[in-house]
Every structure is written in C-alpha cells, then in structure tokens.
Amino acid sequence: MNRTVDLNCDMGESFGAYSFGADEQLMKHITSANIACGAHAGDPNVMEDTVKLAKQNGVAIGAHPGYPDLAGFGRRKIELTDVEIYRYVLFQIGALHAFCKAQEVPMHHVKAHGALYNVAAKKKHVAHAIAQAVADFDQNLILYGLAGSYLVEEGKRLGLRVASEVFADRTYQEDGSLTPRNTPGALIETVDQAVKQVKGMLTEGHVTSVKGKILPIQADTVCVHGDGASAVRFVRELKTALQAEEILIESM
C-alpha cells in the first residue's frame, strides 16, 4: 500500500510574448515540474525562469520533451522515425539540463508531452526510443509514463526508475486507458470525486472504470493541469484533501 504520491504539472509552456499556465502559483503546490524544452513550447528565456522558479520552490525538475511543433503545441502527431524521436528527445533533455546545470539544481525526471506521450503509451518502438534517450543521457533520471503503458515498461526494461502516472480528473475505460476527452463522462469535475479516485489508486491499488469494472493500477504520480480557470484552486484543494487522508505529497 502506497501512502506517498507525487503531484506533477506541465510548466514553462509560455513562449516569447505568450503567457501560458499559472506557473508561479502552481509551483507552490506541486512536487515535480515537467518543463517544456523549446520544441512544443517554451524558449530559452522561459526555460531559465521556470528552472529558477522550481528551484526556489523546492520542486523536482523534469524535462518535458515534445514533437517539434510550436504552432501545434506538440498535440499533433508527426511521423518521425524512432531514430528521430530518440534524437529530438535527447536534444531537448540536454537543452533543459543546461539551465539546471547553470542553476546548480539536479534534473530529476523526464516526461514526454502531448501527442508524443500518447504515441509512446501505445507504440512500443516509440516508447523504447524515448526510454533509450533518457537512459543514454543519465541512467539516474526517472521516466514518467502513463500507468500500464509501454513507456513505463520500456523504461523498466532499460533499468530506469519509472513513475506510473495517473489522473485525478479523468475517468478510465475498461481496458485501463483514459476516456477520450471528447467523450461524455471523460472528466471528473469535483474535487471530492478526484480525491476519492486518487485515494483508491494509492491505498487499494485500483481504479473503477466508467462502467464499474475494478482495474489494478500503479499510482506513483498524479498529473495536475496548469492551465484553465480553476487549475490553481483544484490543485490546492486536491492536495489538502489528500493530506487530510494522511497521504504524503512528495516527489520520488
């Protein structure tokens, strides 16, 4: 039984004059930050600012590589070869790492973004390319991936520590995948229900699907969202509620 959990959030997704997400406020509530690396979002200015912000708040820093597509925010799949995925991910990890190194703060993990995250969950060869890039850069980095996905599996196979990621505000289907956003019932709207879902995952090791099936699930880290009107309130309330259940919120 697990009574400790990490709260991770995508961060540093502003770009140039464009602001995105409530990074300053959220950084006070999360335990690990996935910082964009300039491919799907972010730029050298945003990256340094966000690394500094995470450091100040004692938040564990991760690289958040995505498809090279600023106009699509990394949400559009691009047909890259596995070799290209390996190289684009390695590039991005290195770029963010430079800011960690200059700020004398360790890099803690890597979490793929958007379409790359989704493809890596379902395609073993893509999962492998990402895991290999992480392992080749630094064997001590933790690879974050959707609980039960190929990304987690391939990370383990390469000897990496992995973090199985679950969602507080999304429902699960019979096969353990997330209900697609555009399907009715995909989102969990109340903090009460979100807390109940996370608590069940942690203390009982399972989640109940939309149709009532009980599914085993590993929950090391909970993804919380950084944009949207109520993002900050949701995270704050989720955190408070989990702590009230004597669940410890900390990074791995």
Binding site for a second copy (CB under 8 A): 15-20, 38, 41, 43-45, 47-48, 68-73, 75-80, 83-84, 87-88, 90-99, 101-102, 115, 133, 136-138
How far the first Cα of the chain sits from its last, in Å, is 16
**Choice between 97 and 111, CB closer to a second copy:** 97
**Choice between 77 and 213, CB closer to a second copy:** 77
Beta strand 214-216 pairing with 206-208: antiparallel
Asked whether the beta carbons of 93 and 120 are under 8 A apart, the reply is no
**Choice between 83 and 244, CB closer to a second copy:** 83
**Choice between 11 and 191, CB closer to a second copy:** 11
Q: How far is the CB of 102 from a second copy (least distance, A)?
A: 4
Q: How far is the CB of 41 from a second copy (least distance, A)?
A: 8
**Choice between 26 and 107, CB closer to a second copy:** 107
Find, among 98, 99, 122, the residue nearest to 112 by Cα: 122
Q: How far is the CB of 203 from a second copy (least distance, A)?
A: 36
Q: How far is the CB of 200 from a second copy (least distance, A)?
A: 32
Asked whether the beta carbons of 218 and 205 are under 8 A apart, the reply is yes
Q: How far is the CB of 77 from a second copy (least distance, A)?
A: 4
**Choice between 45 and 240, CB closer to a second copy:** 45
Q: How far is the CB of 83 from a second copy (least distance, A)?
A: 8
Asked whether the beta carbons of 130 and 151 are under 8 A apart, the reply is yes
- Specify burial of residue 121 (Cβ count, 10 A radius: 0-12, 13-18, 19+): buried
At 111, list the tokens.
């979490």
Residues in the chain: 252
SS3 category, 34 = strand
Phi, psi of 246 (to 5 degrees): 60, 35
